[in-house]
Amino acid sequence: MTKILPFKAVRPARPFAGLVASRSYEDYDEDELRAQLEFNPYSFLHIINPGYKFQHEIGGEKRFEMVRNRYLEFLEDNIFIQEKEACYYIYQINSREASCCGIIAAASADDYEQNIIRKHEDTIAHREELFKDYLKVVGFNTEPVLLTYPDNEIIEDLMRKTMQKRPEYEFATSNREIHKLWKICDMESTGKIASEFEKMEKLYIADGHHRSASSWLLAKESREKNPNHTGKESYNFFMSYLITESSLRVYEFSRLIKDLNGHSKEEFLILLDEWFRIENRGKDLYRPSKKHHFSMYLHGEFYSLYLRKTQYRFTDSLSSLDSNILYEKILKPILGIADLRQDKRIEYIPGRNDLIELKTRVDSGEFAVGFGMLPAEIEEIKQIADENLTMPPKSTYIEPKLRSGLTIYEF
């Protein structure tokens, strides 16, 4: 039984919504970030980059405190408003490639701790602690965790009826996306939605493992310090964006490696031959067409690598995951890359980017070899989570990617 509740969001007043909403901070290059900060005084980037006001780089807890100050200024200037009643928020993103629609709501930190909300990635302890401390100081969260659930006709019907009305927000962005947001606040509808989620035995994290873990740490610490803890306090929940499994878009990450770990091209191919049938595809841009098939670009040529299934033993859902096969049979034993998070010899390209990028970066001499694969399927992700296993880092690139600042969850 999952607990997914409406909440009283802090959000932009209608005239400011399109100006406030921003992509993830890391998604901007230096020039674009500077332009946003210089020419858009309403951008949420001013809150998460508070040192810009003083033209000074600020770090640590002082930065957290200044983020809080910028946030309060947006409230004082009525750029942000506080919702008067608890609502669910329907958020739709339409792009040239696809459309998705889901519900922004409050998910239970207890459900995360009890594995009702299930994960498929490992988290890094110091990053969990850092973000927990950030949340504690700033007092709000603006980046929803992406959760996925089975298709549900009752929830979908309520969403369709709501979306026939005028949206609370409707704006376009420079990357040709249309963003719309509606509210569901009446008690009958919110009760039905909550009831339908209660019937679900489990949900799955699609994106936001560190945010989920940090929110649980904050909840645990807060309840230990609160002698009057009831379980209803806002710190017991974290903001999430819930979409159906059929709406989730899963891409792969391609791998780029800086060198062949001392092997010549010929030696490297011979080592690969133990586990893969290799075909030289020449200059043709080769993309895998099946699971357990990989593309490789090396010395100006593409190769197809087919896993020798008579040699390889599948023991669980993780052992059949292509990113894990690549790691266990090539990256670690042959190329000497044991730590996929920290090793500076490996970089990742989201699979939705063109294969030309992989080729260009190898041809430039920056990297020696690149690997591609098919994306994982949602059933693979769920099975790995159900078996309490974790994928190698950068196994999935998942969309949608949401704008920050449209709904804010206060602790």
User: Do 168 and 23 share a domain, yes or no?
Assistant: yes
Predicted confidence at residue 124, as pLDDT, reads 87
User: Do 136 and 181 share a domain, yes or no?
Assistant: yes
Domains identified in the chain, total number: 2
What's the average model confidence in pLDDT over 83-107?
95
pLDDT score of 59 more than 90 = no
User: Do 208 and 241 share a domain, yes or no?
Assistant: yes
User: Do 134 and 193 share a domain, yes or no?
Assistant: yes
| pTM of the predicted model as reported, rounded to 2 decimal places | 0.93
User: Do 101 and 188 share a domain, yes or no?
Assistant: yes
pLDDT score of 93 more than 80 = yes
Establish how many alpha carbons lie within 13 A of residue 197's alpha carbon, considering only the half-sphere containing its beta carbon: 27
> Could you read off the pLDDT of 25-48 as tens digits, one per residue?
888 888 999 999 999 999 999 999
DSSP string, 119-187: --B---HHHHHHHHHHHHHH-EE-S-EEEEE---HHHHHHHHHHTTSPPSEEEE-TTS-EEEEEEE--H
Predicted confidence at residue 288, as pLDDT, reads 94
User: Do 210 and 310 share a domain, yes or no?
Assistant: no
- pLDDT-derived band of residue 55, with 50, 70 and 90 as boundaries? confident
Instruction: Please give the mean pLDDT across all residues of the chain.
Output: 95
Predicted confidence at residue 75, as pLDDT, reads 97
**DSSP secondary structure code for residue 297 in this structure:** E
Predicted confidence at residue 27, as pLDDT, reads 86
User: Do 246 and 264 share a domain, yes or no?
Assistant: no
Domain that holds residue 94: 4-250+399-410
User: Do 244 and 140 share a domain, yes or no?
Assistant: yes
- pLDDT-derived band of residue 219, with 50, 70 and 90 as boundaries? very high
- Which CATH number belongs to the domain containing residue 376 in this structure? 3.30.1760
> Could you read off the pLDDT of 121-144 as tens digits, one per residue?
988 889 999 999 999 999 999 999
User: Do 171 and 85 share a domain, yes or no?
Assistant: yes
Predicted confidence at residue 341, as pLDDT, reads 87
Which tokens hold the place of 192?
A: 């039905």
Q: ω before 392 within 30° of 0 (cis)? A: no
Q: CA dist 246 to 94, 148, 350, Å? A: 16, 9, 21
Percent of the chain at pLDDT above 70? 100
Predicted confidence at residue 98, as pLDDT, reads 82
Per the model's pLDDT, the better-predicted residue between 372 and 59 turns out to be: 372
> Could you read off the pLDDT of 145-183 as tens digits, one per residue?
999 999 999 999 999 999 999 999 999 998 899 999 999
User: Do 321 and 208 share a domain, yes or no?
Assistant: no
User: Do 219 and 328 share a domain, yes or no?
Assistant: no
Which amino acid makes up residue 299?
A: H
User: Do 198 and 262 share a domain, yes or no?
Assistant: no
